[in-house]
Homo-oligomer: A and B are copies of this chain.
């Protein structure tokens, strides 16, 4: 039987479970075998894959012997340690963590935007940050057609970006507030940071840790990754990232200015209607605009509320919503693997 030996690293996490579903049902490349890897703590768990039960194994360097394609989503330190081991054993790694993203030797890829970058891979391909992916999927067709000068983004991010434990925390706290009981936050905004705050019925203007210039790491990701993916060092990009009490799917207000100053909202709509991976949901008369609850479980990026800034020619608003665990993570990684397969850039070990 021909096909790839695929390993999923972080198989028991929120993104890992999406990887497994997509490999079962969606992946447009041949699969010979699937190996589920996780931490020692999760080893031994049984997970159904098609009609077989697979046992989760602890990740070790030897886990990657014979593996052709490894999908990583188990945190930056796991990728740092094991991705080079997988590459050493002949695997191509698609890494969903931020660890290698800004490495000049590692392509950072959204298949609708820069598939050509895959040709330059040396074994590791990085999957971008969730909030960046959905924004560039919507912006790139506009940039190609009308040029792009500046982007200002405000995010409304789902807690699932911080993992399954953050989803559990959101629901637990919501129930406690409804019951008039005290809450005891332990995960959000950032598990490893000093203070933890209530997310239920609240907003937290901190995603990931604070870095220089008082931007968070998430905000720097949106700035730096957007420029790398779009291959435009001179694009002005800035962002404020905010966590809100939504479980799945990020929303974003994206304000942008085009180089062409005669563009109309209808021009933007027309370009997006045929853009890959984009679904335009923009019919104010019928109250149609993107919503997280409608984007949940879907692979597309939904765009609406397209309208011009009344004071500036060539300046526009749009509202961009997508499932952060699918297009923002697992689905984009599987698309990368599909594209690698189509371009014959994965070479089975046997």
Q: Is A105's beta carbon under 8 Å from chain B?
A: no
CA distance A198 to B292 in the complex (A): 10
Number of chain A interface residues as a range: 35 or more
Chain B binder among A19-27, A115-123, A304-312: A304-312
- Identify whether the interface residues of A are mostly helix, strand, loop, or mixed: mixed
Chain B binder among A54-62, A244-252, A272-280: A244-252
Q: Is A18's beta carbon under 8 Å from chain B?
A: no
- Annotate A236-248 by CB proximity to B: 1 below 8 A, 0 otherwise: 1110101011110
How near does chain B come to A43, taking the closest CB pair, in angstroms? 31
State which of B174, B201, B202, B238 has its C-beta within 8 Å of the C-beta of A311. B238
A317 pairs with B189, CB closer than 8 A: no
State which of B170, B198, B238 has its C-beta within 8 Å of the C-beta of A317. B238
- Annotate A200-216 by CB proximity to B: 1 below 8 A, 0 otherwise: 01111110001001110
Contact sample, A vs B, 5 pairs, CB 8 Å cutoff: A170-B201, A193-B287, A198-B293, A202-B293, A203-B292
Q: Nearest 6 A-B pairs (CB), nearest first?
A: A154-B154, A236-B311, A210-B284, A154-B253, A214-B307, A240-B253
Interface residues of chain A, those whose CB is within 8 Å of chain B, are: 150, 152, 154, 156, 170-171, 174-175, 178, 189, 193-195, 197-198, 201-206, 210, 213-215, 223, 236-238, 240, 242, 244-247, 251, 253, 255, 265, 284-287, 289-293, 304-312, 317, 319, 321
